[in-house]
Amino acid sequence: MQQGLVSPVPPPALPWLGWIGGLSLFFLVGNACLQYGAARLSASATSIIMLSEVVFASASAVMLGAGTLSVRVVLGASLILLASLLATVSFRAQARQVF
């Protein structure tokens, strides 16, 4: 090989193409189902579901050994859940009673 030249891309292995296609189809159907369900829920329920997804992804990464549990991760997960729960609480009714 001469300097400055890049070797060509190897041909794709056929068994991997099946796995990639199947996984892509799985994610496409999953995302379509999530969007279908989210369009039929209230905004407050959808916000809790979508925000808690990040927390569950972090927790499952720790359980599978792909992530580490630190104070920063726990604090971030707590803040995400607290923010989503505060977003669903209606403060308008309480404000009207005061005035």
CA 54 to chain centre: 5
What pLDDT sits at residue 94? 60
Res. 6: pLDDT tops 90: no
Quick check: 73 and 58 in contact, CB under 8 A?
A: yes
Look up the pTM and report it: 0.57
Q: Structure tokens of 69?
A: 């549990």
Structure tokens at 95: 């404000």
CA-based nearest residue to 73, from 57, 49, 84, 86: 57
Residue 42: is its pLDDT beyond 90? Answer: no
Kindly indicate the confidence band of residue 30, based on its pLDDT and cuts at 50, 70 and 90. very high
Band (pLDDT 50/70/90 cuts) for residue 21 is very high
Per-domain residue ranges of the chain: 14-98
Mean pLDDT value across the chain: 84
